[in-house]
Amino acid sequence: MNTSIFKPLFQRSWIFALLGLLVVLALNGCNPSQFKSEAAQVSQIVARTGSDPKTYNYALIQEFPNIAPFINEGLISEDKSGKIEPALAESWTISNDKLRIVFTLKEGLKWSDGHPLTVDDIVFSYNDVYFNPKIPAYPQDSLKIGAKGLFPKVQKLDERRVEFITPEPFAPFLRSTGAAILPKHKLAESVKTNDSSGKPKFLSTWGMDTNPKEIISNGPYVIESYSPNERVVFRRNPYYWRKDEKGNQLPYIERVFWQIVDSTDTAIIQFRSGGLDTITVGPGTFALLKREEKRGHFSIYNGGSDSSSLFVSFNLNKGKRNGKPLVSPIKSRWFNTVAFRQAVAYAIDRPSMINNTLRGIGEMQNSPISVQSPYYLSPKEGLKVYDYNPQKAKQLLLGGGFKYNNNQLLDTDGNRVRFTMLSQTGSKLIEAMGAQIKQDLAKIGIQVDYQPIDFGTLGEKLSNSLDWECYLGGITGGIEPHNGFNVWSPDGSFHPFNQKPLPGQTPITDREVSDWEAKIGRLYVQGARELDEAKRKAIYGETQQISQEYLPFIYLASSLDMAAVRDRIQNVDISSLYYENVLWNIAKLKAVEK
């Protein structure tokens, strides 16, 4: 599957993020044209994000979109189709036994402050940060190897070469080295020293109270300024390493305005006014914008099926904090009944969702693994699906001990089946889906209290307080299934349906891991160990079958990944593998006046 509700932190990895944060262009409370008049000679682009960034510290990012694509890079990167390409490393060699990989860094690499970027930064990033048990680093789960969750050994060979040694064959390892390299000269002290509570100061370093100009970058941009609830402004990194085929240093665009606009309606208005440069095109806006392409001097690009997943998920955590259950024991019994989850799956009218909400521009989702991945198991290959069948849903509920009274669903003790479903505000698409799900489940006697809330609050509930019953959201996808290990491992950093406390969070007692849940985790370990591609596909096929049988995520539908981009923006190469479907290759985009 994927992880998060939306696209990659480092090249389409899998982590939490919530829907509706489309990387579009829009302004919040001001006219984008003012930016062009401020610096007419400066090449720039205006883009939109749905919420404020939560941290400048790459290792601690837990949401999408985020600032990482602008300021962070790793040893490797991936192109629009997921093919691995050199980034900070110019090359690498892999031993015959597949246990040793040696990277050679490009010559003359520098941080945005002019300080040399060296092998010491590589060793620091992995050994001191990503492998540090005291730091809940985002890339950590994808770098754990084998049943024991061991990390590779990382050591410096010379000034340009670094060696990784894995304890056993690890098929996804090369892709895992897309994790951002961090500056040792700026962050090492914060890792070594603790605050008054005994935690590494690193955990509070480069938070949003930090002066943006102090953040050191190895990506195409540096952060010029940040205005809460308004915008983040990025300026070209003068020491960025990439060059075009003619030897010109990238990026081409001098400045990027990332406007914070939580409403997609506002974003559309701003784009149509002519001041914005790109916007994600959803099913509800495609027909309107398609008619305006020529007059508005923009083009609509189609990146194919969105690789992210949309789903409904229930909180299956039976644990307690300070003696209080995370979920009401009455509701927890419903949610942990497989027949209940399967009934909900059969009761959601996904064909109507595609025809109405997605305006026919979409398709069913049934798998946690993206259709673009070679490990995807299709329904034609035997993957279980839940076609719309409210009558079968009722039969499952009755067989599971529920009963009806005046078309209201009751449990065996006579309790009315009613729960709250959360989603993020700001997306008309998601809110329309939520409204339909509420209506669909009412037809089988379930009362859903649908409550869209702001992104920050939702993220806090899903990853920290764990105070939620049901949520409508999504997770990013990609080529490599193991990038979703943090979702599917019972000990993963984003295992939302049964989340384990992260380092520094309040402990949980009485949490239980089901047999099927543990088996998926073991299969992900096995799949990462297997080097034979056919056998890997079979292993991940089994994980998809288990997921569809027990439904920790009830998948909905996906639309085409499209974006409208001003004609003055050149070198557009949209990719559905990235949340930033246009800005993923921001370093190569050009902005010209027409």
For the stretch 107-145, pLDDT in tens is 999 999 999 999 999 999 999 999 999 999 988 988 999
- The neighbouring-strand residues paired with 423 are 452
Return the pLDDT at 262.
82
The reported pLDDT for the residue numbered 26 is: 33
Query: Of 4-18, 109-123, 177-191, 562-576, where does mean pLDDT reach its minimum?
Result: 4-18
CA torsion, ordered 558, 563, 564, 568, to nearest 10 deg: -170
Query: Band of the pLDDT at 42, cuts 50, 70, 90?
Result: confident
Residue 96 structure tokens:
């015959």
Could you give the CA distance from residue 191 to residue 204 in angstroms, rounded to a whole number?
A: 10
Tokens 């056998």 sit at which residue? 535
**Residue 574 near residue 301, CB atoms below 8 Å:** yes
Flag the least confident range among 197-211, 267-281, 308-322, 400-414.
267-281
Q: So what's the pLDDT on residue 581?
A: 82
Does pLDDT of 497 surpass 80?
Answer: yes
Domains 33-70+193-305+559-591 and 309-557 share a fold: no
Query: In 10 A of CB 503, how many CB atoms?
Result: 14
Between CA 512 and CA 490 the distance in angstroms is 10
How far is 35 from 42, CA to CA, in rounded Å?
Answer: 10
371-390 confidence digits (pLDDT tens): 989 999 999 999 999 999 99
Across 430-454, average pLDDT: 97
Average pLDDT over residues 74-98: 93
| pLDDT averaged over every residue in the chain | 90
How far is it, in rounded angstroms, from Cα 236 to Cα 221? 5
Range 508-533 average pLDDT: 96
Coil, strand or helix at 564: strand
- DSSP category for residue 3: B
CB 234 within 8 A of CB 71: yes
According to the model, what pLDDT value does residue 274 have?
83
Q: Is the pLDDT of residue 399 over 60?
A: yes
Stronger pLDDT, 223 or 25, i.e. the higher one = 223
pLDDT of residue 594: 62
- Which CATH code of 1.20.1250.20, 3.10.20.10, 3.40.190.10, 3.40.50.720 fits the domain covering 33-70+193-305+559-591? 3.40.190.10
Distance of CA 571 to the CA centre of its chain: 25
Quick check: helix, strand or coil at residue 45? strand
Please check the confidence at residue 475 and state whether its pLDDT lies above 90.
no
Fill in the DSSP letter of residue 126: I
Domain spanning 309-557: CATH 3.30.540.10? no
Identify the band that residue 50 occupies on the pLDDT scale cut at 50, 70 and 90. confident
**pLDDT for residue 10 is more than 70:** no
* pLDDT-based confidence at residue 401 (cuts at 50, 70, 90): very high
- Architecture field, domain 76-188: Alpha-Beta Complex (3.90)
Closest residue by Cα to residue 358 from 284, 308, 423, 288: 284
- The model's pTM is 0.76
Domain ranges of the chain: 33-70+193-305+559-591, 76-188, 309-557
Q: Which amino acid is at 364?
A: M
> Which run of H or of E encompasses 375?
none
Type of residue found at 176: S
Q: 233: helix, coil or strand? A: strand
Q: For residue 14, is pLDDT > 90?
A: no
Q: Name the β-bridge partners of 91.
A: 104
What residues pair up with 77 in beta bridges, in sequence order?
85
